[in-house]
Amino acid sequence: YQFHLEGLPDNAKLLTIRNEHLLDDWNQIEQYIGGEKDILTPENAEAAFPVINKKNMTKDPSVKIDPYSSPKYLSEESTNALCRHLCNEIVNYKKILRRSVNLNYLQIEESITELRESCGKFADYEEGDCHYDMPDIKGKLLNFRGYVDKVQLEAVEGHKQRLENPLPPSKRIIGTEEEQEEKDLLMDDDAYPLPYSL
């Protein structure tokens, strides 16, 4: 969740589809962006989006109940350890819920209540409460979000400063002074090369 959340621009509108509420969230977003109100019906939801969860807490027909006769469960101790290690991701999940323009307060609280059923106290932790610090993923974002492979942060900052400078770049001198004077004659009065050569 952190990777997706931190990769968003600050002013981006976020639309969220929660797996446990797929039918309602899908239709809400469809209507939000100008589509039909109930384009996804309970009848076609299961075929369109087969979802397997441990249990159907929401009575949402698009959520399948686990078809296995003896599902595997984690012990309370294992669940606690897992939630403890996923604490920062839980915090980021709640940030995504709160930032989502298609979810209201009650829907967000419903998801956090469902999270409490699995992870107990960790569902109420906020940033800084977890046993581990929030990881710094700036380098990962630079490498995997459409930037040139392995771009160093210093290089990005240098490019940013150069691009934000309102002054044109300084004139480059190429070759000897005489050659440069000859080339200058082929340029227009603002010292930038013409789009053609003579």
Q: What is the mean pLDDT of residues 53-65?
A: 56
Q: Do the beta carbons of residue 51 and residue 19 sit within 8 Å?
A: yes
* pLDDT over 70 (residue 156): no
Integer Cα distance of 195 and 192 in angstroms:
9
**Among all chains, which residue has been given the structure tokens 């101790």?**
77
Q: Do the beta carbons of residue 49 and residue 62 sit within 8 Å?
A: yes
* pLDDT over 50 (residue 49): yes
* pLDDT over 50 (residue 84): yes
Q: Do the beta carbons of residue 124 and residue 132 sit within 8 Å?
A: no
Q: pTM higher than 0.85 for the full model? A: no
Integer Cα distance of 103 and 84 in angstroms:
26
Write the pLDDT tens digit of every residue in 107-141. 999 999 999 999 999 999 999 999 999 998 887 87
